[in-house]
Amino acid sequence: MTVILNQSLTGISIGAVLLLIALGLTLTFGQMGVINMAHGEFIMAGAYTTYVLQKSISSAGVSLLVALPVAFLVAGAMGALLEWLLIRRLYTRPLDTLLVTWGVSLMLQQLARDIFGAPNVQTAAPDILTGNIALGGGITFANNRLFILGLALLSVLALTLILKLTPLGRRIRAVVQNRDLAEVSGIATGQVDRITFFIGSGLAGVAGVALTLVGPIGPTTGTNYIVDAFLVVVVGGIGQLKGSVITAFALGILQSVLEYSTTVSVAKVIVLVAIVAFLQWRPQGLYTLRTRSLA
């Protein structure tokens, strides 16, 4: 029982990382219908932002706290620039968008290699995040994982409040539901697209900061997570925040428990088969909302 509980907690922490990465995609892929293959590189940008800040700020705790907003701004600016330069010209051509953003992804990876070198780099975690919390009965939860869980839940809360309660959130939801009607209601839909992309990409940057706490980071750090993050958004129901939250934790726990009883590879295969079977039964995912067509 202790083992299962420990594995479930590990699963929750994996789910928290997935959720952080998928949150940005929920906006750019889910709400806007853009398959942005460079999303992983915005995660990488957030991770390297932490690395660079740590070189100039000696305290690991302070640099981590500073890195969160700075990484959000850096990755967000990269996303907004990508949207403005390329993606807005390709909204009606999803396959071209996929190819172009994949190319951008490769370029950004190479740029990172040129600047930081090919080997992975390690950032120092603040002391407070290096230990474990004992929950009793042999069950423990790593402090860094708890921090990431808190960060993920805080990000979900912030995004939910923005979407539900602010004028910007209303505009984003309106553009998703009926673009033409939003435009004739006086909303500059192109500007809303750019801001949405900024927030979605910025959240990827925050995910990158979180990833520096779980291991070394390198030019392909983001790419390693991107497929799982897309799966979270698709299974959760495209454009639905609550679907992404449930799916991220469900996949994390499933993966973690299966890894214990089988192997990492077999667990991955079983999870993928389960996802395919689920999507055969419910192609629209857990929850649905009409978005810009990907057809």
Q: Which of 59, 185, 262, 284 binds other proteins (CB under 8 A)?
A: 185
Q: Which of 119, 136, 167, 283 binds other proteins (CB under 8 A)?
A: 167
**Could you say which DSSP state residue 166 is in?**
S
Type of residue found at 213: L
Q: Which of 84, 116, 158, 170 binds other proteins (CB under 8 A)?
A: 170
Residues in contact with other proteins, counted by CB under 8 A, come to a total of 19
Type of residue found at 83: E
Q: E strands along the chain, which residues? A: 132-136, 139-142
Least distance (Å) between residue 60 CB and other proteins: 42
Nearer to other proteins, 176 or 235 (CB): 176
Asked if residue 187 binds other proteins (CB under 8 A), the reply is yes
Phi, psi of 128 (to 5 degrees): -60, -20
Q: If you compute the radius of gyration of the chain from its CA atoms, what whole number of angstroms results?
A: 19
Asked if residue 188 binds other proteins (CB under 8 A), the reply is yes
Least distance (Å) between residue 152 CB and other proteins: 25
Residues 6+ apart with CB under 8 A from 239: 26, 30, 31, 176, 288, 289, 290, 291
Rounded to whole angstroms, the Cα distance separating 217 from 215 reads 6
Nearer to other proteins, 140 or 189 (CB): 189
Asked if residue 104 binds other proteins (CB under 8 A), the reply is no
Stretch that binds other proteins, among 9-17, 146-154, 182-190, 245-253 (CB under 8 A): 182-190
Asked if residue 153 binds other proteins (CB under 8 A), the reply is no
Write out the DSSP string of 45-101.
HHHHHHHHHHHH---HHHHHHHHHHHHHHHHHHHHHHHHHHTGGGGTT-HHHHHHHH
Least distance (Å) between residue 29 CB and other proteins: 18
- List, in sequence order, every residue forming a beta bridge with 139; answer none if it has no partner: 136
Nearer to other proteins, 27 or 37 (CB): 27
Cα distances from 52 to residues 46, 65, 84, 218, in angstroms, run 10, 13, 27, 13
- Looking at residues 190 to 209 of the shown chain, list those that interact with other proteins (rule: CB under 8 A): 190
Nearer to other proteins, 173 or 268 (CB): 173
Cα distances from 209 to residues 144, 216, 293, in angstroms, run 12, 11, 32
On the 0-12 / 13-18 / 19+ scale of CB atoms within 10 A, 47 is buried
Report yes or no: 155 and 206 within 8 Å, Cβ to Cβ.
Answer: yes
Asked if residue 289 binds other proteins (CB under 8 A), the reply is yes
**Could you say which DSSP state residue 219 is in?**
T
Asked if residue 295 binds other proteins (CB under 8 A), the reply is no
**Could you say which DSSP state residue 27 is in?**
I
Nearer to other proteins, 191 or 261 (CB): 191
Stretch that binds other proteins, among 19-27, 70-78, 137-145, 166-174 (CB under 8 A): 166-174
Q: Which of 184, 280, 281, 293 binds other proteins (CB under 8 A)?
A: 184
Stretch that binds other proteins, among 17-25, 47-55, 107-115, 177-185 (CB under 8 A): 177-185
In the complex, the residues that contact other proteins under the rule CB under 8 A are 167, 170-171, 173-174, 177-178, 180-190, 289
